[in-house]
A and B are shown apart, each in its own frame.
Chain A
Amino acid sequence: MLTIKVLGSGCPNCKKVEGIVRQTIAKMGLEAEVIKVTDYAEMIQYNIMSTPGLVVNEKLVSAGKIPTEAQVTTWLADALETA
Chain B
Amino acid sequence: MTFFLDLLQAGLGNLAAYLAAHVLLCLLPAFYIAGAMTALIPKETVTRFLGRNTPKYISYPAAALAGSVLAVCSCTIVPLFAGIYKKGAGIGPAITFLFFAPAANILALIYTGGVIGPDLAFARFFLSLAFGIGIGLIMALIFRRDDSAHDKATNQMFAAQGTMRRASLVFLLIWIALLLVGTLKVGLLTNAYGQITFPLNGVQAFQSALDRLIPYDASRGEEGLTVQGVILIVSLILIGLTSWKGFENVHEGFNRWTWLALMLTGLTLLIAALGVKASPEGLNIAFTGKFFGVLLTGGALIFLMKALLSKDELRDWLWESWRFVKQIFPLLVAGVFVVGVIRVLIKPEWIETLAGENSLPGNLAGVLFGVFMYFPTLVEVPIANMFLTLGMHRGPLLAYLMADPELSLQSILIISAIIGRVKSWTYVGWVALFSTLAGLIYGAWVDGAGAVLAMLYLLAFLALLGGALWWVNRRNDMLAVAQKT
Interface on A for B, CB 8 Å cutoff?
8-9, 11-14, 16, 20, 40, 43-44, 47-52, 64-66, 68
| Contact between chains at B75 and A8 (CB < 8 Å) | yes
- What is the CA–CA distance of A4 and B324 in the complex, to the nearest angstrom? 27
Within 8 Å of chain A (Cβ to Cβ): is B43? Answer: yes
Using CB atoms, name the residue of chain A closest to B326.
Answer: A12
**Interface pair B47/A49, CB less than 8 Å apart:** yes
In the complex, what distance in Å separates the CA atom of A49 from the CA atom of B90?
A: 14
Interface of A is mostly: loop
CB contact under 8 A between A50 and B157, given known A12-B326, A13-B323, A16-B251: no
Which has the most chain A C-beta neighbours within 10 Å: B87, B154, B326? B87
B156 touches A47 (CB 8 A): yes
**Which one of A16, A50, A65, A68 contacts B79 once the chains associate, using CB atoms below 8 Å?**
A50
> What CA separation (Å) do A49 and B47 show in the bound complex?
9
B167 within 8 A of A: no
Do B157 and A49 touch (CB < 8 A)?
yes
Which residues does chain B contribute within 8 Å of A68, judged by CB atoms? 251, 312
State A14–B80 Cα separation when bound (angstroms).
16
Residues of B bordering A, CB below 8 Å: 39, 43, 47, 70, 73-76, 78-80, 82-83, 86-87, 154, 156-157, 251, 312, 316, 319, 323, 326-327, 417-418
Contact A9 B323, beta carbon cutoff 8 Å: no
Closest to B252 in A: A69
User: What are the residues of chain A within 8 A of B87 when measuring CB–CB?
Assistant: 44, 47
Dominant secondary structure at the B interface: helix
Give chain A nearest CB distance to B326 CB in angstroms.
7
Are A48 and B83 interface neighbours, CB within 8 A?
yes
Q: Which residue of B lies closest to A65 (CB)?
A: B316
Q: For B326, what are the chain A residues with a Cβ–Cβ distance below 8 Å?
A: 12
B83: A residues at CB distance < 8 A: 44, 47-49
Contact across chains for B86 and A50 when beta carbons are under 8 A apart: no
Q: How far is the CA of A20 from the CA of B319 in the complex (A)?
A: 15
Given contacts A49-B76, A65-B39, 4 further A-B contacts (CB under 8 A): A9-B78, A14-B75, A16-B251, A49-B47
Contact sample, A vs B, 30 pairs, CB 8 Å cutoff:
A9-B74, A9-B75, A9-B78, A11-B73, A11-B75, A12-B323, A12-B326, A13-B75, A13-B323, A14-B75, A16-B251, A20-B251, A40-B82, A44-B79, A44-B83, A44-B87, A47-B83, A47-B87, A47-B154, A47-B156, A48-B79, A48-B83, A49-B79, A49-B157, A50-B70, A50-B79, A51-B79, A52-B75, A66-B316, A68-B312
Q: Which residue of A lies closest to B417 (CB)?
A: A40
CA A13 to CA B250, docked complex, whole Å: 13
Q: How far is the CA of A65 from the CA of B43 in the complex (A)?
A: 11
A9 contact set on B, CB distance < 8 A: 74-75, 78
Docked pose: A75 CA to B418 CA in angstroms: 31
CB pair B79–A12 under 8 Å, yes or no, is no
